[in-house]
Amino acid sequence: MNFIRKELKEFKESNGLLIDVRSPEEYYKGHMPNSINIPLFNNEERVIVGKTYNLNGKEKAVTKGLEIVESKLEQLISEFVDVEKLYFDNKNNKFKIYCARGGMRSKSIFWLLSKLNYSVFLLSGGYKNYRRSVLSKFTKNIKIIIIGGKTGSGKTRILNILRNNNYQIIDLEFLANHRGSAFGGLGMNKQPSNEQFENLIAEELYTFDNNKDVFIEAESSNIGKCRIPYELFKQMKISPRIEVIRSERDRIDELISTYSVFSKNQLIDSVLKITKRLGPQRTNKAIESIKNEDWENVCKAVLEYYDKCYEHELRSRNNVKTLDLREVKEKEILSMIIKSSSKK
């Protein structure tokens, strides 16, 4: 059988439903964004085939794999038929298949779908090829502009204003499902694996014009459990930075709007995570204020700590321009950010 393979660029740009046929465990660790997982082998079956290969060689492993697939052929066919019913349309009427290296698993699915008269093609080199491309993305020069500012300065809101006006932005906190502080996981979905976080960032970069600026919020190297790719973070540290200045009143209002919706227990748990850094006095003050729903004093207790940390970090940065947004209306923010960024 002649297998239809495509190199990564053509594979990504071709219409079709993207299907990852690796095991659920492999898929969770990292996958091509927007792919659907229809595993040829589940986690346990993959281990069995792997052990057979190590103990008895490739031929025996292939035989074992065929036995497993034969026993659940109806289930596999049913899964693809269900996906077709849910997602096929005039644009997505083909299956784009990948496995780990473009080997036996994707070939097996290609054979099965071809017998069912589906149009299907494979990714040459599989997910491993995709990952090489992801990691190489971060080594290329990116025209980054950092949006900095103390906690509560509305940096994410600024990114959204830029995005809504067709400027290129990467919202790292959105991709990481975390706002980057001890309170950052509240109300967020489970964080992706670190590998998947890298994949999500790279997918953003794939869509960008390399000659245009990319706005990114200032972050530490870790956002919750997700670590910013080293090569990208290295570029972020030396990129031009717009330091947003907001009044304490505006910052407190921003934080109250974001966090007062969560339960007292959730907020207290978040404060307790940074007890050592806050110290007993500020910790007790914050917890007591949470219990009394005195949100302003909660913010003041926590901001005192975060501001000191931020000021210390900012001293090590060069190429910083301040942008005073106190008393500035939201409709004026875009033009001020763009004007400031053009002076780099």
pLDDT band at 322 (very low <50, low <70, confident <90, very high): very high
Say whether pLDDT at 344 is over 60.
Answer: no
Percent of the chain surpassing pLDDT 90: 75
Residues 201, 133: Cα–Cα separation, whole Å: 12
- Does residue 20 carry a pLDDT above 80? yes
Q: Which amino acid is at 80?
A: F
Residue 92, pLDDT above cutoff 80: no
Higher pLDDT, 68 or 198: 198
Separation CA 96–CA 83 (nearest Å): 13
Query: How far is residue 307 from each of residues 149, 150, 195, 302, 303, measured CA to CA in Å?
Result: 10, 6, 31, 9, 6
Is residue 77 within 8 A of residue 113, CB to CB? The reply is: no
Convert the pLDDT of each residue in 282-293 to its tens digit: 899 999 999 999
Distance CA 102, CA 300 (A): 55
Mean pLDDT of the chain: 93
Q: Which residues contact 65 (CB under 8 A, 6 or more apart)?
A: 41, 49, 104, 108
From the candidates 99, 226, 299, 309, which is the catalytic residue?
A: 99
More confident residue, 331 or 8: 8
**One-letter identity of residue 254:** E
> For 130-252, where are the E strands, in sequence order?
144-149, 168-170, 214-217, 222-223, 226-227, 241-245
Two structure tokens written together for 109: 């699915």
pLDDT in tens, 149-197: 999 999 999 999 999 999 999 999 999 999 888 888 888 899 999 999 9
Cα 123 from Cα 10, distance rounded (Å): 9
Residue ranges per structural domain of the chain? 5-132, 138-341
Least trusted range by pLDDT, from 109-118, 235-244, 302-311 = 302-311
Return the structure tokens found at 143. Answer: 């025209």
Residue 31 — very low, low, confident or very high, per pLDDT cuts 50/70/90? very high
Give 98's contacts (C-beta < 8 A, 6+ positions apart): 11, 18, 19, 20, 21, 32, 35, 106, 122, 123, 126, 127, 130
Is 206 a residue whose pLDDT tops 60?
A: yes
Q: For residue 91, is pLDDT > 80?
A: no
309 is catalytic: no
* Opening angle at CA 92, ends 87 and 98, nearest 5: 90
- What Å distances lie between residue 45 and 58, 121, 199, 316, CA to CA? 16, 25, 26, 51
- Residue 201, pLDDT > 90, answer yes
The two three-digit tokens of residue 4, written as one number:
């239809």
Work out the pLDDT band at 1, boundaries 50, 70, 90. low
Q: CA 68, 73, 74 angle in degrees (round to 5)?
A: 140
Report which of residues 327 and 43 the model is more confident about. Answer: 43
At residue 223, the pLDDT reads 95
Please write the tens of the pLDDT for every residue from 224-276.
999 999 999 999 999 999 999 999 999 999 999 999 999 999 999 999 998 98
CATH of 5-132, one of 3.40.250.10, 3.40.50.720, 1.20.1730.10, 3.40.640.10: 3.40.250.10
138-341: CATH, from 3.30.1330, 3.30.70, 3.40.50, 3.30.230: 3.40.50
Alpha helices, DSSP H only, in 116-193?
126-137, 155-164, 172-176
Q: What's the CA gap between 166 and 149, in Å, rounded?
A: 22
Q: By the 8 A CB rule, do 327 and 152 touch?
A: no
